[in-house]
Structure 1
Amino acid sequence: MPFLRMGYRLVLITSVVILSFLTSIVLWLLFRNNQKSHCKWVGWFARFWGRRACAAIGLSYTVEGDLNIPAGSMIVANHVGAVDIFLMAANFKLFFVSKAEVNGWPVVGQMAQLGKTIFVDRSRRHQVTGMIDSIRKRMRDGFNVAWFPEGSVTKGDDVYPFKPSAFEAAVQEKRPVVPVLIRYEGGGEPYVASWTGTLGEHMIRVLKSKGLRAKVRVFPPIPPAKTRQELSRASHDLLYHAFHNNPNEKNSHVTEVGAPSEY
């Protein structure tokens, strides 16, 4: 049964990827000379893509909190695996900040480019400066920008220390930061959503899993601060304490999104 489930979902997610790739090319051709309009349409389509991707892999999830965040916000979340990207895209109109090596991945890299992802090589200081400038421009134009300040995927068993660099964009633009906590359960093993091994191995585990569920908890925006360290510490501490102290606490504003029928 796991292999039948994987095959079925593989067909679905492949269809989503192909449709998304073709749509992204069309949007680029239509709006390549108008970057703001291009970003607007890409942001809208990314949300559609995220929802279809979640359905294709059989992921059900609940959202706690208010998704109506101020335009031009910085969104930060803990990072478990590739499914985080589907979840974030499904619930927010946003653009991602990603490590530079993703740009070189087959298919994924091309889709990220067409999706107006902001790439950065953190080992090169001048690229970090360029990343901050790119994030500032997106937020200034009213677009939300999301990134994972832990800097790497985790087992989903904790909220690890945040890297503060990109928070500088929110400081300079005086924009709020929206913290988001992602938790997974089910799927046949505790860390099925965690990215271990290659991307292929990671996705095989996800596609074979049964009953994978996620909780997305959206916290009220943190007001602009004077330093990136302040924003980093405030958002990390909020997510860390929520993860450890109130894992089952319910927000009054809860939306549940179900997955399609399972094999």
Structure 2
Amino acid sequence: MTLATEHAWLQRASCGAGCVHAGADAPGPRWVVVCRTTLRTAAALTLFCGVWLLAVPMPGRAHVQRGYCRMMLRTLGVRMQVSGGPIRNVPGVLVVSGHVSWLDIFTIGTVVPGSYVARADLVDWPALGPVVRLMKIIPIDRARLRRLPAVVAAVAERLRAGHTVIAFPEGTTWCGLGYGRFRPAMFQAAVDAGRPVQPLRLSYRHRDGRPSTVPAFVGDDSLLTSVRRVITARRTVCHIHVESLQLPGTDRRDLAARCEAAVRGQANRIALVAPTDCGEGHALVA
């Protein structure tokens, strides 16, 4: 998969294969890996066939979406841990977090389902395209910066209508050990709509608690390679810490800085440390 055309809004990560394989868990005996991979693949494909149900209007659909995302993660060998919070039932919230993997969509979906701001060409991806359409993404053409105000306006309109919108302000994926700055553009939507922002601190770990870069979708990774790496791993644990809601205020840069500090665990610090460069990411979801 190739990176989106570079422009002033899209920052370039520096994560590569060295980040992904550093500190990887031993997969175990070959026969165990084959059995584990076969079972997980079959379960994930079976569950994926029912993804269209997420688009059907029904009472308690948010609970159904959360349950579906949890089941999908379990079939892939990913377990969830949630702390902080609670998630407040406030209409029209912009949800933001760091961006590591395609798995982020499912992990965030376990705690706060919503529609995503995503790169426009995702609708053309095999397998993911139909899912993207069902999730009613707000498409962003990353090679055409002039269209960014229209995207921000669309996000603000969704927020005013009481919908939850999820965005990744780094604009590209990182390995989870390195990270980028939060770009302020999407935060303008919360300022314009006068709606709060919910920061989520997301991290992936091995079963023994060590940081894991197995789910990272960076460098020369193809989606299939990344999925295979997750499925063959013994176990991946995703931890989501729900930070305090941030009021929008009137300055998008201040709002972006506050949310970045919360996501990095630095909410009690006035100044942010410099971002850590690790590699080259994929601009999967904005």
Give the superposition deviation at 1:80. 0.9
Q: 1:100 to 1:43 in 2, by over 3 A?
A: farther
Aligned counterparts of 1:234 and 1:128: Cα–Cα separation in 2: 22
Aligned counterparts of 1:43 and 1:52: Cα–Cα separation in 2: 14
Match of 2:182 among 162, 168, 171: 162
Secondary structure at the aligned position of 1:195 is classed as: coil
- Greater share of helix residues, 1 or 2? 1
Query: Partner of 1:13 in structure 2?
Result: 44
* TM-score (norm. length: structure 2): 0.75
5 Å-filtered alignment, 1:35-184, equals 45-65=64-84, 66-184=86-204
Is the 8 Å Cα contact of residues 46 and 93 (structure 1) preserved in structure 2? yes
Aligned counterparts of 1:127 and 1:3: Cα–Cα separation in 2: 46
Aligned counterparts of 2:49 and 2:72: Cα–Cα separation in 1: 12
Give the superposition deviation at 1:93. 2.6
Aligned counterparts of 1:44 and 1:149: Cα–Cα separation in 2: 26
Is the 8 Å Cα contact of residues 75 and 146 (structure 1) preserved in structure 2? yes
Matched pairs, number: 232
* TM-score (norm. length: structure 1): 0.81
In the alignment, residue 237 of structure 2 is paired with which amino acid?
Answer: R
Query: Partner of 1:186 in structure 2?
Result: 206
Aligned counterparts of 1:140 and 1:48: Cα–Cα separation in 2: 27
Secondary structure at the aligned position of 1:9 is classed as: helix
Secondary structure at the aligned position of 1:91 is classed as: coil
Q: 1:152 to 1:128 in 2, by over 3 A?
A: same
- What runs of 5+ residues in structure 2 fail to find an aligned partner? 1-31, 270-286
Query: Partner of 2:16 in structure 1?
Result: none
- What runs of 5+ residues in structure 1 fail to find an aligned partner? 28-36, 246-263
Aligned counterparts of 1:51 and 1:137: Cα–Cα separation in 2: 29
Name the Cα RMSD after superposition: 2.3
Aligned counterparts of 2:54 and 2:89: Cα–Cα separation in 1: 25
In the alignment, residue 98 of structure 2 is paired with which amino acid?
Answer: N
Is the 8 Å Cα contact of residues 73 and 79 (structure 2) preserved in structure 1? yes
Secondary structure at the aligned position of 1:79 is classed as: coil
1:211 is aligned to 2:235: yes
Query: Partner of 1:232 in structure 2?
Result: 256
